[in-house]
Amino acid sequence: MLALTLPLVPRSVGAQPPKGNGDDVVVTGTRTPEQAQRATVKTDVVTRDEAERRGATNVAEALATQPGVRVDPGAFSQLGGVSAVRIQGFDLQRVLILEDGEPMVGDTGGAIDLASLPVGDIQRIEIVTGPTSSLYGSGAIGGVINIVTGPPRYAGPSARGRLERRSRGGVYGAASASYAGRDAWSTVDGSFSRQGGVSRDPALPDFQVAPTSRALVSARAGGVITDRWTLRVRVRWLREASEGVSSAEAPGVGRYALDTPAKTDRQTAHVIQSFDLGRGASLRMTAGHQRIDNTSERFQRGSQVGERHDRAHRLLSLEQTLTWPRGGVTWIVGARAEREHFEQQLSTVESHSSGLVRRDSEEVAPQTLARAAGYVQLQGKATSALSWLAGLRAETHTTYGSKVTPRAALSYRPTESVSLRVGAGQGFRAPSAKERGFTFDHSSLGYRVVGDRALSPETSWGVNGDASWAASRQVTLRAGAFANWVRDLIDLDLEGGVSNGAAVDYRYQNFGRARTFGGSLGYTIRAGARLRVDTGYDYLYTRDDVRRRPLGGRPPHTLTTTLRARPLRRLELSIRHRASTDAWVSDGVRSPGYSTLDVRAGWDVASAAQVYAGGTNVTDVHPDPGRVGDLRPPLGRTLFAGIKFELHEGEP
């Protein structure tokens, strides 16, 4: 508890006027540090402070009301309510999730569950929309979300913490201790959260959302080895455990309960070295390893009859990137190599006349995939007002051969108050190990789901444009538009089932084609440091060109309004409202439109501490039990109250 005895520098937590996107330094869009407002590629930012103002304990909650982004757990109930992200109408594996620039693996049914990623050790979240495969490879069709960590904010020792009580028996606690010296720094973070369950139907034991606990321990350190060599290391351990319950009914037995617990351990380690080559040139070398182990079970309560799935996912990566300014043009040249391994085992216990019989089998045949890529990006200025970017990535893979993806972008600032940007590029997504090797045998029910090793990558072309105008010091107007065309979408061909005698086999196939386009309008009003209002409207059109229908579960109209105010010196208020229209789900089924309201009030009790209270979805919007295709938020209302502090003795 040494950190609690530090002399305090007067600082009101949350009292600083929030920075806008234009003040944030971003790296995801171009791999080079730029101010967000002047970046050649539009990059939105959610800082840790802003995430806390939104009442977030994890990345899903931090992005839940972000304009241009949708995180709807209700849309993925077939995966157990996974909080996956959608950008420009694309979801699941078509939006790439990064940690400090490294692609994340260990998905659930093709989706990274953002609710499983705490915000305790992050510095900011960067969002880039549109195809970005020219920089990051497979999966970046709809866009990229980069979860960024960083060094301590302050020189010398510092500490911060947050302790919170939440409704449904929930708790959240996070703490961090740091030290930043002249040539080295280190940070240790830890957090724990517990969330109560949400019943699917009061008359049944089933959970719509299972009770879940999450724990995080991470350590980061960096230092100057020589005048030209710096080193940074990050290790992270995450555990998520849930205690699900469902029920089923059988003739002669009646309804019986099924316990469906699940546990995931995620371990990551990254080493980053940077070398100053002189004259503005630098070399960045990274090595990463991710290890994810997941277990999910489904057993009759009080019985050993049931099944267990064990999944193991590994990723080893090496990358080096050279940044070389020359003749007014900045060259970025990089190479990357990855080795990925995935396997999934199924264990079943069945009751026979002779007793219990256990069977072990490969649900997904072990898959070891390797890929290598090289990329080059040129960035420069044609005039003082016109910036340009051109990039190309060539990638070769052990299963689908080679793929080349280009990208280009222009940014024009005729005045300090006007900014125009346009970009175009190609994206692609390689078939996953599950899609290639999955065998889900439900022959007893008349069908099997079978992977296909002959799958080809999905490919897309996309264009994006945005404009902003600072009409005055108080008012900023924004507009944007996008369009995407995707071919060879991978999906189950439910109309092309083939009988194998005992059951019908349904295979993953490249047979989909889809289009998405849309636009956005918004404005920001500022009244000094005491008031800020942001309003954004998003329009989305989607079309499945094979089935000739919309893509399911995507509301065409969304309106988001945020108000941040400091009516008194010690009082901070944050209000967020999001309204969505109804959405097509399937023929004859639409999910109802809805709106959510999040509120938070904080009071600075000392120069370094704040008590707060609030709620997300305070109007308690939730699905109707038994209604098919109801994609409203399954958690309903969540209320919280807590305290946070930040102590330091040095300056930023």
pLDDT per residue over 563-584, tens digit each?
999 999 999 999 999 999 999 9
Q: Which two tokens stand for residue 353?
A: 């006349």
For 271-289, letters b (16+ CB in 10 Å) and e give: ebbbbeeeeeebbbebebe
Cα three-residue angle 59-296-305, rounded to 5 degrees = 155
Alpha carbon distance 100, 197 (integer Å): 32
Alpha carbon distance 554, 585 (integer Å): 8
Alpha carbon distance 374, 438 (integer Å): 30
pLDDT of residue 5: 32
For the chain, which residues score pLDDT lower than 70?
1-23, 74-81, 108-110, 438-445
pLDDT of residue 506: 79
Alpha carbon distance 87, 82 (integer Å): 16
Q: Which two tokens stand for residue 425?
A: 């590029």
Alpha carbon distance 110, 436 (integer Å): 12
3-state secondary structure of 611: strand
pLDDT of residue 74: 67
Q: How far, CA to CA in Å, does 189 sit from each of 50, 54, 336, 464?
A: 19, 21, 29, 38
Fill in the amino acid letter for 423.
G
Q: Report which of 423, 430, 315, 429 is spatially closest to residue 377, judged by C-alpha positions.
A: 423
Q: Are the C-beta atoms of residues 464 and 127 closer than 8 Å to each other?
A: no
Q: Which two tokens stand for residue 537?
A: 């409207």
pLDDT of residue 13: 32
Q: For tokens 């103002």, what's the residue?
A: 53
pTM above 0.75, yes or no: yes
pLDDT in tens, 43-85: 999 999 999 999 999 998 999 889 999 888 766 655 556 778 8
pLDDT of residue 6: 33
Q: Which two tokens stand for residue 554?
A: 């995507």
Alpha carbon distance 595, 622 (integer Å): 10
Fill in the amino acid letter for 121.
D
CATH class for the region spanning 2-648 = mainly beta
Q: Around Cβ 190, how many Cβ atoms within 10 Å?
A: 19
